[in-house]
Amino acid sequence: MTITQLRYIVALDQFKSFAKAAEHCLVAQPTLSLQIQKVEQELGFELFDRKKNPVITTKLGKAVVDQAKNTLKEADKLYEIAGQWKDEPAGSISIGIIPTVSNYLIPSIYQSLQTEFSKVNFRISELPTLTILEKLESEEIDLGILATPLKIPNIVEHPLYYEPFVVYYPKNTKEKSASVSMKHIEKYPLLVLGEEHCFRHQSLKICNRNSLAKIESGSVETLKRMVDMGIGVTLLPKLSVEKTSDRIVPFDSPEPAREISLVYKKGFYKTKILKKLTSLILGVIPKEYYSREKFKIIGVSLNQD
Residue 7 in contact with residue 75, Cβ under 8 Å?
no
pLDDT of residue 280: 93
What pLDDT was estimated at residue 292?
Answer: 93
Q: Which long-range contacts (CB under 8 A, 24 or more apart) does 130-133 make?
A: 130/196, 130/302, 130/305, 131/96, 132/96, 132/97, 132/98, 132/263, 133/302
Measuring CA to CA, which residue among 277, 305, 290, 300 is closest to residue 159? Answer: 290
Spans of the chain, pLDDT less than 50 = 211, 304-305
Q: What is the pLDDT of residue 95?
A: 94
pLDDT digits (tens, 9 = 90+) for 117-157: 887 888 899 999 999 999 998 888 999 999 999 888 889 99
**pTM for the whole structure:** 0.74
Tell me what pLDDT residue 60 has. 92
The domains found in the chain, sorted by start residue, are: 3-83 (1.10.10.10), 91-161+258-295 (3.40.190.10), 163-256 (3.40.190.10)
